[in-house]
Amino acid sequence: MTAWAKPAATEPAAGNQHLAVATSGLGKQYTRGLRARSKWALRDCTLEVPEGRICGLVGANGAGKTTLLRLLVGLARPSAGDVQVLGQRPSDSGQFLREVGYLAQDIPTFRRWSVTDHLRMGAALNPSWDAVATRERIQSLDIPLDQRVGTLSGGQRAQVALALALGKRPRLLLLDEPVAALDPLARRDFLSTLGAAVAEAEGHLTVILSSHLVADLERICDHLIVLANSRTMLAADLDDVIASHRVLTSTRRDVGPIDRQHTVLRVEQTQRQTRMWVRLEGPLTDPTWDSDELSLEEIVLSYLEYHPPADADRGPGITNVAHLGGVS
């Protein structure tokens, strides 16, 4: 922990639970062109996702969400740090790949192939393929099996791709902005398919889902990762996130005492009033502040705008929000 990141009040939420994903100091550097300076797409990413969670992954464009997911499934190799997925390092082996389902951002499919062809490919390439459930899933959505995938609607295509990723019965499912291009109805259907699959798996399926739509995430997720400026800002249980973030209001005064104890994400000072968005690192001792809950949207926004102090360049991001039982 660096100077700016306040120590957590209690132990991380993960405890002794099995972890679906654990990264430490994970980084990915890209070199564009021969003379161009290399750029970090993801940096010092340290986070844990316990098994069985549905984890939302949010961040501005270019924050490193896609890079993180690609590192987790082994499509890209890390430039720095360590990554463990289901207890093993992502590798180019069938044994690892059969545990992880992945749906890329642009939803790649063979456009001229029929839906059936895609299902047959899934069966041919995955030893743990669940043919019956996959076919039922597609049929219950009224997607014609013999139609070319390229002629399906965006929502149907996303559903086929999701069915393909689920068909191998993965223990970890990584979805990279699958609903970004979908209309609200298709989005709802997609998420309900996902929800049903998670319910069927009875805790044996962990999902990491990146999205800009915080409202969607709030509905289906129980865990949250926030990436900003290629770093992890937050990786924690969703209830803890809601419980530990507050907007504090008072007559105008110095923010110093709060800043020393907690993490101030954003401050708004007017002539008469001080308002700050704060992550509590322990009980709020000063009762003269008006403390209000923040919506998840507001919390995410305040992280995306948050610029950690200058010396933050060297250390890991803010992670592992403490369990805060005593917040009033």
Partner 1 sequence: MTWLIWRQHRMQVGVAFAILAALSILLWVTGLDMSHSLRGCKASPTCSGGDIMNKYRAVTTIVNITVAVPLLFGIFWGTSLMAREFETSTHVLAWTQSISRRQWLNRKLLALLAATVLCSAGLAAIVTWWWGQTSNSNRFDGARFQIEGVTPIAYSIFAVALAAAAGAILRRSLATLGVTIFGFAAMQVLMNSYLRSHLVHPLTALTPLGPDNDIPGAWIIGRELLINGRATKGIVQLPAQCAGTKSRPDMNGCLSESGYQFATKYLPSSRYWTLQYLESGIYLALAALLIATCVIVVRRRDA
Residues near partner 1 (CB under 8 A): 70, 73, 75-77, 92-94, 97-98, 100-102, 104, 106, 108-111, 113, 117, 120-122, 124-128, 164-165, 168
Q: Which is nearer to partner 1, 111 or 204 (CB)?
A: 111
175 versus 235: smaller Cβ distance to partner 1: 175
Kindly tell me which of 123 and 243 has the beta carbon lying closer to partner 1.
Answer: 123
CB of 215 to partner 1, least distance (A): 28
Q: CA of 317: how far to CAs of 80, 98, 193, 237, 287, in Å?
A: 15, 31, 33, 16, 29
Nearest distance from residue 82's CB to partner 1, in Å?
17
Cβ at position 92, least distance to partner 1 in Å? 5
End-to-end CA distance of the chain: 27
Contact assessment for residue 321 and residue 236, using Cβ atoms and an 8 Å cutoff: yes
Residue pointed to by tokens 């550097």: 29
Neighbours of 311 (CB within 10 A): 10
Nearer to partner 1, 12 or 154 (CB): 154
Task: For partner 1, give the closer residue by CB, 64 or 101.
Answer: 101
Residue type, 301: L
Q: What's the min distance (Å) between Cβ of 305 and partner 1?
A: 31
- Shortest Cβ 183–partner 1 spacing (Å): 23
d(CA 297, CA 57): 13
Q: How far is the CB of 179 from partner 1 (least distance, A)?
A: 18
Place of tokens 């994400």: 265
State the minimum distance, in angstroms, from the CB of residue 79 to partner 1: 10
Residue 75 or 301 having the CB closest to partner 1: 75
Q: Nearer to partner 1 by C-beta: 76 or 209?
A: 76
CB nearer to partner 1: give 99 or 216: 99
Q: How far is the CB of 107 from partner 1 (least distance, A)?
A: 9
